[in-house]
Amino acid sequence: MVKNKLSLSFVFRCALWIALSYSFVGLASFYEKNKIILHFAYALNTFLTANLLISIGRFLIVSLYNRKHANHDVRGNFVLGISRVATVLNAGMIVITLMVALGIDPKEFITSMTIVAMAIAVIFREYITNMISGLLVMFSDQFSIGDHIKISNYQGKIVDITLANIVVRDEDDDVVLIPNNLIFTSTMVNKSSQKSNKLIVKFELPLEKPLHVQSVENHLRPILKINKNIIWDDLFKIKVAEIGKDFVKYKIELNTISSSNKLHYQIQNEILNEILLFRTRED
């Protein structure tokens, strides 16, 4: 569950907002003589008012969400989506604040820029749709940060979801930025959506040097049997999954005590290392 606490910065913003609001009464004569400072003070007050309302709204919504799902294993990105929406709203308020500070009426400016805004929307259509897709992704429960996904030619662990991209760290520890639009136009496999205690270890060897299955089973059996993280089954077998033109694919099915991805990777690495050691000795 995501922690949701009001920070010291929120307290500071509240204090600054109160001070500014009071100054419009206590320093009215000063502001009357310094119109430029008045514009900046009013602009800052406008931003702080909106910012505080957004922060309070986010805090209340997230608190209610956390309370509602306190006893459930939530996989969605609701909190992340709310945070991104709050960021977008704050960014919009910064633009409005700058207009107020410069003495520009936001309503008149937006009205006069309608045609230009439509042109901008057409030019940046891909980015806008990508951003909307990002928000849809954040509020969906199909996958979340930490899941292992495969989409198009990319696969790896989701480390972040932004308004522009899904950030994935692949098996080579490279960071791959996948555009949000790709999620809705390509087939995606979420390998973490259905967590299971079942672990399938797959590996591939050249056809010219096939594995002596029985010998490897005899090698692995005592090692896996004493592993406390594995629920041992005497029917343990190494199966041939596929035979290609120049390769043979094998798989090992095991039951573990947990569905933890970290535990599964640990066991998988141990098994593959033992197979490599066996092959080295055999050669």
Per-residue pLDDT of the chain (283 residues; tens, 9 = 90+): 444 455 788 888 899 999 988 888 888 888 888 888 888 888 888 889 988 998 888 888 888 877 776 655 555 577 777 888 888 888 888 888 888 777 777 776 666 666 666 776 677 777 778 788 887 777 777 777 778 888 877 888 888 888 888 888 887 778 888 888 887 777 777 776 555 678 888 888 888 777 788 888 988 999 998 999 898 888 888 898 888 888 888 999 988 888 777 788 889 999 999 888 888 876 6
Of 79, 53, 183, the residue nearest 131 (C-alpha): 183
Q: In angstroms, what CA-CA distances link 89 with 83, 85, 262?
A: 10, 6, 37
Distance CA 34, CA 46 (A): 18
Q: Which CATH class, in words, describes the domain spanning 138-190?
A: mainly beta
In degrees, rounded to 5, the angle at the alpha carbon of residue 145 between the alpha carbons of residues 141 and 148 is 95
Total-model pTM: 0.51
Strand partners, 154: 151
The domain made up of 198-282 has a fold known as: Alpha-Beta Plaits (3.30.70)
Taking only the tens place, the pLDDT of each residue in 7-44 is: 788 888 899 999 988 888 888 888 888 888 888 888 88
Q: Where are the domains of the chain?
A: 8-112, 138-190, 198-282
Of 38, 35, 51, the residue nearest 96 (C-alpha): 51
Of 101, 107, 108, the residue nearest 48 (C-alpha): 101
